[in-house]
């Protein structure tokens, strides 16, 4: 109750003070700087590189995204070793992968959320800010020396500022990367390319030429048949195709896209870049190069088509390549060869679109009242942000799952497999030990993130590293009142963009009706939406410039 009262006062005060808080300065002291009653179990001194260990046994409830590939096991070494090192036991509140976002919203809305809420992708936290259900974690960065150190060392301030709300605070602790590590791209049957004497395509236009040649040789095949149709049709393909065109689509869709030249935001689904992307997609479908069922079929159906030679190209990443498609092909077409190609280049140029901030953690407001709050924040800082914690979450236990030589190079033990490094090993790093778990393992330096990569994958990353990182958009945080307004527009707008992207791609709506479609978006308040975003951007610049 006290927190909600403070939030109402803060909103009113923010209107009067016109957001005088400056992000160029150090973090503000927060709503309450007195943590003297919240230090039970905390280390008296805790700094960068220190091993966190609670001074008494503690447990923290944590929302757990239960992945189908490595379903939760109580006997994982991850749990017991984590407790051994930190004196903390995680109490997982397991939610199926397919229901994670919906269940998270229900738990938070009902006031039943666990204290630690990982696997949250910005801007998903925005929906929970105005209610006071989650903490402004930026108020407590002094409790997190490892995170502060990485923000400073890796020059992450522009990315962190992009998380800020209109009160100048941010409410999500993101996974942080030193360098972008793009994973999703196009997977291609290289044996078919060799058969047709085709070079690896470097651009989306060259990929079109490759697909045309495949179609000419195999007219009864849709060369590109995609998966990932849920929750957004071809979400992965649209994601990488959109970034190549300088826009955001599929999994990455955001209503507002920053235009660096014009120094303003445009409505994404109405932009010229989005139109170019849709036009390319339409061309692939119209010429029989992209399977129209890509927008609706299950992942298993897409896998079967690739495995049975009914398609030659699919969107994927290192894990889907090694864990799914190559084993599928080995059973049905043992001479087939499938490989990741460097992300094709589009009109946006040679960019590496992967952001340096990954999904992150929300903290329930209830945690602030806990006598163990400081210990909990120290624990989170160690597990998710310290070098030792990041190594533990990814690699596991030295001597059991990996070894390390004098130079610090890590090697997976031969009896443990991950990403096909030891395919005949009896144990799997995720399934049998609980490490490399997407709830706990994200972010880090390149040597940590890429330590498991095969020479093939390292070569892919070498090509991507040579490209320019994508531009980080400036902050444009909305006030609570503005967010309440746009929340009424966002779902109808996104649904309309998704539906019409599909219609244009499939030819169910002619591209000649693009202007009519844009007018329909305006009737659904796209202009008003983008006006509010640009107003928020200008306000933030004025108050924090």
Phi-psi group of 423: left, alpha or beta (phi > 0 → left; psi -120 to 50 → alpha; rest → beta): alpha
- pLDDT value at 16 more than 50: no
Res 545: pLDDT: 62
Res 328: pLDDT: 97
Res 499: pLDDT: 96
How many domains does the chain divide into?
3
- Which residue in this structure is represented by tokens 């119209």? 286
Phi, psi angle pair for 42, to nearest 5°: -80, 155
Residues 379, 452, single domain; the answer is: yes
Helix, strand or coil, per DSSP, at residue 519: helix
23-27, 51-55, 220-224, 264-268: segment of lowest average pLDDT: 23-27
| Among 311, 309, 274, 261, residue whose Cα is nearest residue 291 | 311
Name every residue whose Cβ is closer than 8 Å to that of residue 228 and which is 6 or more positions away in sequence. 234, 235, 236, 237, 251, 299, 315
The answer to whether position 44 is within a domain reads no
pTM for this one? 0.82
Report the chain's mean pLDDT, rounded to a whole number.
92
What domain range is 254 assigned to? 185-352
CA 356 – CA 451 distance, rounded (Å)? 18
Residues 503, 451, single domain; the answer is: no
Res 32: pLDDT: 55
Digit-coded pLDDT (tens) for 144-200: 999 999 999 999 999 999 999 988 899 999 999 999 999 999 999 999 999 999 999
- Which residue in this structure is represented by tokens 């990485």? 150
The rounded Cα 161 to chain-centroid distance in angstroms is 17
Last residue of a domain, one of 352, 383, 403: 352
Helix, strand or coil, per DSSP, at residue 332: helix
| Percent with pLDDT over 90 in the chain | 83
CATH code (residue 331): 3.40.190.10
183-197, 463-477, 519-533: segment of lowest average pLDDT: 463-477
Residues 311, 272, single domain; the answer is: yes
Residues 285, 366, single domain; the answer is: no
Helix, strand or coil, per DSSP, at residue 210: helix
CA 300 – CA 280 distance, rounded (Å)? 26
- pLDDT value at 134 more than 80: yes
Residues 251, 310, single domain; the answer is: yes
Label residue 31 by pLDDT band (50, 70, 90): low
- pLDDT value at 485 more than 70: yes
Res 543: pLDDT: 84
Digit-coded pLDDT (tens) for 36-83: 999 999 999 999 999 999 999 999 999 999 999 899 999 999 999 999
Is 515 within 8 Å of 465 (Cβ atoms)?
no
- pLDDT value at 130 more than 90: no
Residues 200, 327, single domain; the answer is: yes
Residues 372, 300, single domain; the answer is: no
Helix, strand or coil, per DSSP, at residue 244: helix
CA angle in degrees (0–180, nearest 5) for 244-246-250:
70
More confident residue, 219 or 1: 219
The answer to whether position 99 is within a domain reads yes
Phi, psi angle pair for 260, to nearest 5°: -60, -35
| Among 289, 277, 181, residue whose Cα is nearest residue 237 | 277
| Among 441, 443, 473, residue whose Cα is nearest residue 356 | 443
- pLDDT value at 277 more than 70: yes
Res 251: pLDDT: 87
- pLDDT value at 30 more than 80: no
Mean pLDDT (whole number) for 84-96: 97
322 CB burial (10 A radius; 0-12, 13-18, 19+): buried
35-44, 472-481, 513-522, 530-539: segment of lowest average pLDDT: 472-481
Residues 67, 160, single domain; the answer is: yes
């Amino acid at each position: 109750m006290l927190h909600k009262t403070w939030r109402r006062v803060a909103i009113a005060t923010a209107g009067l003070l016109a957001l005088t808080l400056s992000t160029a300065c150090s973090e503000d002291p927060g709503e309450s700087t007195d943590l003297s009653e919240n230090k039970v179990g905390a280390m008296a001194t805790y700094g960068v590189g220190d091993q966190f260990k609670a001074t008494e046994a503690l447990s923290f409830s944590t929302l757990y995204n239960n992945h189908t590939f490595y379903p939760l096991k109580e006997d994982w070494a991850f749990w017991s070793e984590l407790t051994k090192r930190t004196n903390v036991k995680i109490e997982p509140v397991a939610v199926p992968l397919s229901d994670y976002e919906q269940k998270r919203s229900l738990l938070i809305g009902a006031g039943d959320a666990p204290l630690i809420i990982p696997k949250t992708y910005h801007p998903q936290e925005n929906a929970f800010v105005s209610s006071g259900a989650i903490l402004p974690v930026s108020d407590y960065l002094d409790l997190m020396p490892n995170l502060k150190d990485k923000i400073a060392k890796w020059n992450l301030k522009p990315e962190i500022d992009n998380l800020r709300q209109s009160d100048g605070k941010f409410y999500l602790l993101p996974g942080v990367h030193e360098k972008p590590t793009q994973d999703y791209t196009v997977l291609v049957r290289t044996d078919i390319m060799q058969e047709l004497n085709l070079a690896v395509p470097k651009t989306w236009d060259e990929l079109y030429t490759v697909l045309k040649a495949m179609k000419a040789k195999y007219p009864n095949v849709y060369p590109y048949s995609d998966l990932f149709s849920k929750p957004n049709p071809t979400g992965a393909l649209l994601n990488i195709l959109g970034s190549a065109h300088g826009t955001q689509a599929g999994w990455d869709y955001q209503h507002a896209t920053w235009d660096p030249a014009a120094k303003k935001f445009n409505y994404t689904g109405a932009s010229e870049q989005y139109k170019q992307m849709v036009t390319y997609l339409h061309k692939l479908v119209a010429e029989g190069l992209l399977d129209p069922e890509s927008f609706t079929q299950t992942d298993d159906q897409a896998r079967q088509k690739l495995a049975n030679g009914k398609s030659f190209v699919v969107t994927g990443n290192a894990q889907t390549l090694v864990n799914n498609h190559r084993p599928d092909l080995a059973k049905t077409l043992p001479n087939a060869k499938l490989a990741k190609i460097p992300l094709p280049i589009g009109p946006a140029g040679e960019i590496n679109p992967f952001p340096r901030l990954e999904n992150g953690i929300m903290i329930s407001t209830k945690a602030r009242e806990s006598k163990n709050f400081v210990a909990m924040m120290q624990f989170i800082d160690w597990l998710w942000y310290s070098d030792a914690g990041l190594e533990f979450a990814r690699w596991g236990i030295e001597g059991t799952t990996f070894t390390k030589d004098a130079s610090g190079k890590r090697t997976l033990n031969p009896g443990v497999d991950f990403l096909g490094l030891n395919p005949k090993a009896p144990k799997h790093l995720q399934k049998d030990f609980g490490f490399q778990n997407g709830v706990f393992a994200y972010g880090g330096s390149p040597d940590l993130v890429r330590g498991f990569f095969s020479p093939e994958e390292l070569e892919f990353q070498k090509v991507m590293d040579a490209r320019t990182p994508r531009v980080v958009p400036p902050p444009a945080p909305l006030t609570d009142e503005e967010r309440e307004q746009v929340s009424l527009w966002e779902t109808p707008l996104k649904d309309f963009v998704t539906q019409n992207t599909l219609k244009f791609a499939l030819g169910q709506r002619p591209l000649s009706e693009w202007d009519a479609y844009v007018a329909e978006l305006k009737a659904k308040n796209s202009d008003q939406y983008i006006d509010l975003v640009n107003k928020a951007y200008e306000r933030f610049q004025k108050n924090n410039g």
